[in-house]
Amino acid sequence: MPTETLYDFEIEDAPRELDIDDIERVERFKRAGYGGNVSDALWDLGITNTVLSQQFFSLNEDQILAGRALPVKLHSSVHPEEFGEEVEGDDVHPQKQMMRTVEAKEDGSILCFDVGGDSQLAHFGEMSCQLAYSHGARGMLCAGNVRDTQYIKEMDEFPIYTQGTAPNAFGGWEIVEIDQAIHLPGHLTHYVTVRPGDFIFGDFDGVQLIPREVVDEVLLRVESIYEKENEEREQIADGMPIDEVYEEFGVL
């Protein structure tokens, strides 16, 4: 039976699943994945509407963002004078709650920030990156701004794709939802829905979402494309005649 999901694609056979943890998934995507073969694998499955806005860029161009989405919804603070203050009593500050959620998740999560279009301030800094990384997060996708970039860029295992940078955190924001579906700016669609457990892949070509139902299926297809194209690349570099190239490999 075809499988229907939020993303309106169908698969005649059940998607393959791997008995591995997310850290291994991250490493395998980083080894074999790049924007083109991830996109081709998704296309082969009928998934075309999960490309994120080209306004996202990497603080380090050579870093690959890969991991399980942990969505976070932020909103501009209605009481900016209280920004950063501890919550009194037994309540847990939302930032602390977010970090506890990172800790509770399997290692390999990507913090995905929906900031509601507020671009006036920085929503995350290097100390927060260090804390998230030390408890298992492996990167961030921020539809707002980050700061402390000179130090963030020294973190080899915490890629950040963001829409901007800013020095100021004052003005204030608050976390209103954690681990619930959010909507981030899309490239082929106005928004891309990011659900807990979806997979994020980003490189210099751009950022894409892999629906959680097909993460391992996409990974296996990405690895197959990677191996095949390595063979093609060698034959083309060795001077394979043009007619043979198109007869053997089709349109490149």
Q: What is the mean pLDDT of residues 218-234?
A: 92
Burial of 230 (0-12, 13-18, 19+ CB in 10 A): exposed
CA distances from 66 to 92, 164, 167 (A): 29, 20, 26
Q: What is the mean pLDDT of residues 55-84?
A: 85
CA distances from 153 to 64, 130, 132 (A): 13, 12, 15
Q: What is the mean pLDDT of residues 63-74?
A: 97
Per-domain residue ranges of the chain: 50-207
Q: Does domain 50-207 have CATH number 3.50.30.40?
A: yes
* The predicted structure's pLDDT at residue 83: 54
* The predicted structure's pLDDT at residue 173: 81
* The predicted structure's pLDDT at residue 246: 82
Q: What is the mean pLDDT of residues 22-40?
A: 97
Q: What is the mean pLDDT of residues 65-93?
A: 74
* The predicted structure's pLDDT at residue 3: 42
Asked if pLDDT for residue 54 goes beyond 90, the answer is yes
- State the Cα torsion 143-207-66-183 to the nearest 10°: 40
Average pLDDT, the chain: 90
| pLDDT per position as a tens digit, 93-119 | 888 999 999 999 999 999 999 999 888
- The structure tokens 């619930």 sit at 180
Asked if pLDDT for residue 225 goes beyond 60, the answer is yes
| pLDDT per position as a tens digit, 126-161 | 999 999 999 999 999 999 999 999 999 999 999 999
Q: Is 139 in contact with 158 (CB distance < 8 Å)?
A: yes
* The predicted structure's pLDDT at residue 133: 97
* The predicted structure's pLDDT at residue 1: 33
Beta bridge partners of 83: none
CA distances from 237 to 29, 221, 230, 244 (A): 25, 24, 11, 13
Phi/psi of residue 233, nearest 5 degrees? -60, -45
Q: What is the mean pLDDT of residues 219-241?
A: 90
Lowest mean pLDDT among 8-17, 79-88, 120-129, 132-141: 79-88
Nearest Cα to Cα of residue 68 among 189, 219, 171: 219
Q: What is the mean pLDDT of residues 49-64?
A: 96
Q: Model pTM?
A: 0.88
* The predicted structure's pLDDT at residue 251: 74
